[in-house]
Amino acid sequence: MAEEKRVIHDEQQTIEIDLRQPGVAAFWAWVWPGAGHLYQRRYAKGLLFMIAILSTWFFGLFLGEGRVVYASFKQPMPRWHYICQLGVGLPALPAIVQNRRVSGSPPKEPLFGGWMAPPQQPVVLDMEDELGYWHKTLNYRFEMGTLYTMVAGLLNILAIYDAYAGPLIIAHDGKRRKDEKANGDKRTGDHRPDEKPSPGVPPGESAADTSAQK
Amino acid sequence: MSLLFAATQNQLWYAAPLIVAISLVYGATRHELMGAVLHQAFRTAVWIVGFMLIIFAVLSLISWWT
């Protein structure tokens, strides 16, 4: 797989980002938040993603006492939240293992005291509604924990995209944005290193942009 | 209005870490340099809080009206 580099203009500085193998970086970014950036040697951003996303994830897990992340696709209560939570990668995968154990044939006892195991379903007469019990005991912390872990998973999808394609540079102030619009440059100074500039064309602008201004 | 505020003020604190995390991650996906990331994160956080305040004002108004 070919390594890829990208040149961007951020805060009036030109930076060359070595994306290495973007597909591999994206995979690592999914497996463990920030790992894709560490693989690309973008250490500051890697640590930022790791701390921000994982602290959100584990705080949510702590709020929900490990009950808010579980994989269950049984009707009538499928856990669709898990699709968002799965975005965080490896930290969400024990829920799959627990689901396989509990819903296997014959069913086995969940590991780690039921951590990330789905509640017993369906609820039958003379049997405690486990999901209802979680809601009752955890109260609003069940919802908060679910929200935190879902947000962590969704944030990691942004981080995965950043590992794959680099940052999406946007204009800071309205004036600059207005100027760029007037010049017909919608890419805000972003270009690929293999893009050869035409003579007399400033970096970040293509010959087509310059001809449009004329 | 006071009932709405009283009911939510404790749980509102749970929004603070989320706003910080979302702002930082969003800023980091828009810039490469840490200074620009933090600047963008601050702008995003202000935007989110402002949006929440507007929603709070609208809900308070509805609560007061009914």
Do B29 and A162 lie within an 8 Å CB cutoff? yes
Task: Please check the confidence at residue A204 and state whether its pLDDT lies above 60.
Answer: no
Residue B35 is predicted with a pLDDT of 93
Residue A35 is predicted with a pLDDT of 97
Do B32 and A166 lie within an 8 Å CB cutoff? yes
Residue B62 is predicted with a pLDDT of 94
Nearest CA in chain B to A11: B36
Helices B15-28 and A43-63 pack at an angle, to 10 degrees, of: 150
Residue A190 is predicted with a pLDDT of 47
- Average pLDDT value for residue range B39-63: 95
- Where do we find the tokens 């749970």? B14
What percentage of chain A exceeds 70 in pLDDT? 76
Q: Closest Cα partner for A167 from A49, A88, A87? A: A49
Rounded alpha-carbon distances, angstroms, from residue A124 to A76, A134, B30: 13, 17, 51
Band of pLDDT at residue A7, cut at 50, 70 and 90:
confident
Do A151 and B37 lie within an 8 Å CB cutoff? no
Number of inter-chain CB pairs under 8 A, A vs B: 74
- What ipTM score was computed for the predicted complex, to two decimals? 0.87
Q: Is A116 left (phi over 0), alpha (psi -120 to 50) or beta?
A: left
- Min Cα–Cα distance to chain A from B11, Å: 9
Residue A68 is predicted with a pLDDT of 95
Cross-chain CB nearest to B24 (options A13, A48, A144): A48
Over residues A109-155, the pLDDT tens digits come to 888 888 899 987 766 667 778 888 889 899 899 999 999 999 999 99
Do B32 and A159 lie within an 8 Å CB cutoff? no
What letter represents residue A112's amino acid?
F
In chain B, residues with a C-beta closer than 8 Å to the C-beta of A155 are: 21-22, 25
- Average pLDDT value for residue range A52-60: 97
Please tell me the pTM assigned to this model. Answer: 0.80
User: In this structure, what is the dihedral angle of CA atoms A145, A55, B34, A187, given to the nearest 10 degrees?
Assistant: -40
Residue A70 is predicted with a pLDDT of 93
Nearest CA in chain B to A141: B11
Task: Please check the confidence at residue A51 and state whether its pLDDT lies above 90.
Answer: yes
Over residues A71-91, the pLDDT tens digits come to 988 777 789 999 999 999 999
CB of A90 less than 8 A from some CB of B: no
DSSP 8-state code for residue A111 = S
Do B34 and A159 lie within an 8 Å CB cutoff? no
In chain B, residues with a C-beta closer than 8 Å to the C-beta of A44 are: 34
